[in-house]
Structure 1
Amino acid sequence: MAQQGVALPYTGWGDIIRDIPPVAWGALGVALALGLSAIGAAWQVCVLNFWGIFITGSSLLGAAVKSPRIRSKNLVSVIFCEATAIYGVIIAILVASKLDGVPPDFIQSMMDANKIEKWQADAIAAGWGLLATGLTVGLSNVFSGISVGVAGSGAALGDAQRPEIFVKMLIVEIFASALGLFGVIIGLLQLNLVNFTRPARS
């Protein structure tokens, strides 16, 4: 006779998500901040659109064939795209430093508890806070990279035709790059609210 399996105490997805350690959510926040920022800065193919540096670089190289004078001054657009990746690296380091403060037996002490205590609720909130920080910074840097890439492409093509519009297009790029900076500021505010508290020893 076949043995019957033991039923899991999970009644829904909420139970499964609750049992994922908060440190895992924080580590996912590190990955999202770094990965999405790099995608926004470098390149990514999505419905035949290229982002960030690839958009700017391809337009710059194409327009520089007809008008070689635009090569050096339009490299500013590439630097603005790289800034979004740097923002992601900074936040990823700060989020990872929050995870370094977690005691080694922290996860096991969470799993051994019979009921959710205050320190466990704080730890769950901290894990979700780190995830939200990574997601906020990562997504803002993706859209900042796209915006800077499109504006940089327009600046290179416009500068090749009419050199007097370069400064005006540079201002547009600065405002597009500010999206990533706003995401970093909000991420820092979120990061200040996160703290893994050590459980009280009995």
Structure 2
Amino acid sequence: MSSDNCIITTTTTTTTHTYSIPTSRLVNSAAGNVFAMPSENEERQPFFGAMGCMSAIVFTCFGAAYGTAKSGVGISAMGVLRPDLIVKNIIPVIMAGIIAIYGLVVSVLISNNLGQGTTLFANFIQLGAGLSVGLAGLAAGFAIGIVGDAGVRGTAQQPRLFVGMILILIFAEVLGLYGLIVALLMNSRAGDAKC
């Protein structure tokens, strides 16, 4: 064994493998030399930050797509009876699209901080931030889609329902906004990580 590397040879019934392992990765124990735990800047650590980046945009886009599709079905059904209300009742589709913007903002912020030198703690914070905005956006998109579908159909029959539908849509949209705020706060703390 040299001062820099430890040569390990393993033999099976058919093959023999020889490995050269840096001694810095070995620890003396009662069982002999064993491998040390990975260092804090392991090359796999940015995976968690990348998963946070991905989950931020993917889940919010799922929510926005569902909200748009579900509201669009209601607008199409309502447009047969009252084509003059189509433009007025397109608000649920617009509000569903805003949900994806929340995920895009957080995803871009997380991707700007991805890199080999980041700590495991920072990458877990980024994963949490991405999941926060992503899952909140998914829930908000579902709520907007269901409310939008029923709301535009009801507005076609009773125009006084429009204001109530808008208020419910605002409360559904704010769920995604809560996820965005938490994600921004978490992501701002990712750079402060010491371990």
TM-score normalised according to structure 2 size: 0.77
Conserved in 1, the CA contact under 8 Å of 2:122 and 2:193?
no
Map 1:165-180 → 2, pairs under 5 A: 165-180=161-176
Residue 130 (1) aligns with residue 142 (2): no
Conserved in 2, the CA contact under 8 Å of 1:22 and 1:126?
no
Aligned-residue Cα RMSD (Å) equals 2.6
Identical pairs, percent: 29
Secondary structure at 2:83's aligned position in 1?
coil
Query: Which residue of structure 2 lines up, in the alignment, with residue 3 of structure 1?
Result: 15
Q: Write the distance in 1 (CA, Å) between the matches of 2:193 and 2:71.
A: 46
Query: Which residue of structure 1 lines up, in the alignment, with residue 142 of structure 2?
Result: 146
Query: Which residue of structure 1 lines up, in the alignment, with residue 73 of structure 2?
Result: 58
Query: Which residue of structure 2 lines up, in the alignment, with residue 112 of structure 1?
Result: none
The count of aligned residue pairs is 165
Question: Alpha-carbon deviations, 1:110-144, whole Å to 9, x = none?
Answer: xxxxxxxxxxxxx1111111111111111000010
Query: Which residue of structure 1 lines up, in the alignment, with residue 8 of structure 2?
Result: none
**Counterpart of 1:86 in structure 2: which amino acid?**
I
Uncovered stretches (5+) of structure 1, i.e. residues with no partner: 7-14, 43-50, 108-122
Following TM superposition, by how much is the alpha carbon of 1:21 offset from its aligned partner in structure 2, in angstroms? 2.1
Following TM superposition, by how much is the alpha carbon of 1:74 offset from its aligned partner in structure 2, in angstroms? 0.9
Give the helix-richer structure, 1 or 2.
1
Following TM superposition, by how much is the alpha carbon of 1:147 offset from its aligned partner in structure 2, in angstroms? 0.4
Query: Which residue of structure 1 lines up, in the alignment, with residue 60 of structure 2?
Result: 37
Following TM superposition, by how much is the alpha carbon of 1:69 offset from its aligned partner in structure 2, in angstroms? 2.1
The partner residue of 2:190 within 176, 187, 194 is: 194
Residue 27 (1) aligns with residue 50 (2): yes
Q: Write the distance in 2 (CA, Å) between the matches of 1:5 and 1:142.
A: 50
Question: Alpha-carbon deviations, 1:23-82, whole Å to 9, x = none?
Answer: 11101111110111111101xxxxxxxx21110001111111011122011111101000
Give the strand-richer structure, 1 or 2.
2
Query: Which residue of structure 1 lines up, in the alignment, with residue 33 of structure 2?
Result: none
The partner residue of 1:93 within 98, 108, 114 is: 108
Q: Write the distance in 1 (CA, Å) between the matches of 2:69 and 2:130.
A: 24
Question: Alpha-carbon deviations, 1:66-119, whole Å to 9, x = none?
Answer: 1112201111110100000011101101111122xx4x6x38xxxxxxxxxxxx
Q: Write the distance in 2 (CA, Å) between the matches of 1:88 and 1:34.
A: 5
Uncovered stretches (5+) of structure 2, i.e. residues with no partner: 1-12, 19-36
Q: Write the distance in 1 (CA, Å) between the matches of 2:61 and 2:55.
A: 10
Higher relative contact order (CA 8 A, sep 6+): 1
**Counterpart of 2:96 in structure 1: which amino acid?**
C
Structure number with greater Rg is 2
CA distance 1:198–1:125, shift in 2 (3 Å): closer
